[in-house]
Chain A
Amino acid sequence: MLDVAAIRRDFPILARQVRGRRLVYLDNAATTQKPRQVIEALVRVYEQHNANPHRGVHTLATETTDLYEAARAHVARFINARRAEEVVFTENATAAINLVAHSWGRATLKPRDEVVLTHMEHHANLVPWQITAAETGAVLRFIPLLPDGTLDMDAARRLIGPATRIVAVTAMSNVLGTINDLRPLIDLAHEFGAVVLVDGAQSVPHIATDVQALHCDFLAFSAHKMLGPTGVGVLYGRYELLDRMGPFLAGGSMILKVEWERSRYNEVPWRFEAGTPNYADAIAFDAALDYLEALGMDAVREHEVQLTAYALGRLAEVDGMRIFGPPDATRRGGVISFYYGDIHPHDVGTVLDYAGVAVRAGHHCAQPLMQLLDVPATVRASFYVYNGRDDVDALTDALTETAKVFGYAARTRAG
């Protein structure tokens, strides 16, 4: 079990108040707060090492290069990649997916080739494929959802076939919290020679990830959703695949030799890191991985399963509550979307803010999924390592206040 009180002391922002009340931060699926250790690592880069990596022979450039490449190696260990070169630093998970849709997609996809997505994808794993499909003549196919918010695997078996070139699927829905059983999907795709991109933006921060055990070909995730700084994302790719891909952005750093008319591109992963990379934040991300490893990813997952089960129970006690996604906490992440009575999520979000409770209210970059759920938006509470049962209680108390403001006849039966 995690020692939530001790963890909270590492996060300076959790000591602040919002509108005179303790900050209850439940918007972790959007971004997480940063521990002192990460903030200090970032400051240390600028105070002690700062120089442009992979350029120059002076001491600072060497130090920064070593720290930046050490961060890459750490990311590789964190997801059990075979080698550090399989880790490309990007801006965020969105940029990582765009890299694949652009560099792999345009070179590979032919008219009528099929790109298989699901109905629970974030816009980041939908819109890039729409663009690539429009450019290549490829066709998008979607694995639908069952009523409990899980993937319809029977439909998946019908959809994935000889025309499938790639299956791009989230490991965990940012709306429903559903954790997808990826291995059968990946095996199915591989039977037909297709590759699989996993959107790990929501899963990698919360569940131990092993790309070798998973057999995925690509994995995208963001540092800022796992205690790290903003502006750093990761594309993991199998080395043989990355090595056959052309560049995405072009410029400095991604080249070996440049002539006026042509250039030879650099080895992977640097081929995909044109321009000065966000090395300072990547180096600070290394400290975030240290922090998570010290807690232990299995302990992180166990903590969130218990907290999610508690929250699902408390929310179910609130009259008029519609909770989306699988009811079983072991089959979902710590992401709970709900619609409360007839109160618009933005009104709920505003009242909760007055109680110091920060939640997301909106379409969560999943507009087509909102249409499927037949709601304009949802309220979403999402947890991380510093959240405890007191945070869940603050949420349900504040929901009771929301009902009062709107005259909605909701009562919590237990409290």
Chain B
Amino acid sequence: MPLEPELDELYREIILDHYRSPRNHAPLAHADVSEEGLNPLCGDEIALQLAFNDDRIAAIGWGGRGCSISQAAASMMSEAVLGRTAAEAEALRAAFEAMMSSGAEPDSELGDLEVLQGVNKFPVRIKCALLAWKVLAQALAARAGHSSRQPRQVERSR
């Protein structure tokens, strides 16, 4: 019995491509912030590292293990936020979470990330798709805390 058409919505080709060939899937030699997240239900693990140039994400690296959705979502997230400012990344994160959690129409900014909307129909898997973004939020918050303590130095180092 052919199952593929029904499952296509969840396992879109682009998602499987990211799962098989994850992008930015290597630790950074010099990271400004490192954060980790865990989904105890699935055992998904994501470790994320960011390096900033001024306020822009200049390099991103991640590692971890877990289901195809969690790992593909991390890969896609890493591509989507690279080169963006912290504020832009946070806005993207909020738009992605809105699409996943409340079924909101995807923001045009989301681009390819829109393919993960299909996960919305599999409630137990939504956490898998959100994990990498949760870790990103932690990382951005950690950096904000860090830079608010030393804002001048960041300015001067330019």
A binds B: yes
A residues in contact (CB < 8 Å) with B: 19, 21, 343-347, 350-351, 354-355, 362-363, 370, 376-377, 397-398, 401, 404-407
B67 within 8 A of partner (CB): yes
B residues in contact (CB < 8 Å) with A: 1, 3-4, 6-7, 10-11, 16, 20, 41-43, 45, 65-69, 122, 125, 128
Q: Are B66 and A376 neighbours in the complex by a CB distance under 8 Å?
A: yes
Q: Which chain B positions have C-beta within 8 A of A344?
A: 42, 66-68
Q: Which chain B positions have C-beta within 8 A of A346?
A: 42, 66-67, 69, 125, 128
Q: Which chain B positions have C-beta within 8 A of A376?
A: 42-43, 45, 65-66
Q: Are A354 and B66 neighbours in the complex by a CB distance under 8 Å?
A: no
Chain B: minimal CB distance from A203 (Å): 27
Knowing that A345-B67, A362-B43, A405-B4 touch, tell me 20 more A-B residue pairs with CB under 8 angstroms.
A344-B42, A346-B125, A346-B128, A347-B11, A347-B67, A350-B10, A355-B1, A355-B3, A376-B42, A376-B43, A376-B45, A377-B42, A397-B1, A398-B3, A401-B4, A404-B4, A405-B11, A406-B16, A406-B68, A407-B16
Give the residue name and chain of the B residue nearest to A354 (CB). Answer: B3
Give the residue name and chain of the B residue nearest to A361 (CB). Answer: B42
CA distance A351 to B20 in the complex (A): 18
Q: Which chain A positions have C-beta within 8 A of B41?
A: 362
Q: Which chain A positions have C-beta within 8 A of B43?
A: 362-363, 370, 376-377
5 pairs, A vs B, C-beta closer than 8 Å: A346-B66, A346-B67, A346-B128, A347-B67, A406-B16
Q: Which chain A positions have C-beta within 8 A of B1?
A: 21, 355, 397, 401
Contact (A351, B68) CB under 8 Å given A346-B125, A362-B41, A406-B16: no
Chain B: minimal CB distance from A358 (Å): 13
Q: Are B6 and A354 neighbours in the complex by a CB distance under 8 Å?
A: yes
Q: Which chain B positions have C-beta within 8 A of A19?
A: 6
Q: Which chain A positions have C-beta within 8 A of B67?
A: 344-347
Q: Are A351 and B125 neighbours in the complex by a CB distance under 8 Å?
A: no
Chain A: minimal CB distance from B67 (Å): 4
CA distance A407 to B21 in the complex (A): 13
CA distance A31 to B66 in the complex (A): 26
Chain B: minimal CB distance from A20 (Å): 9
Output the residue of A19, A344, A401 with the most chain B CB within 10 A.
A344
Q: Which chain B positions have C-beta within 8 A of A351?
A: 3, 7
Chain A: minimal CB distance from B66 (Å): 6
Q: Which chain B positions have C-beta within 8 A of A350?
A: 7, 10, 122, 125
Q: Which chain A positions have C-beta within 8 A of B122?
A: 350
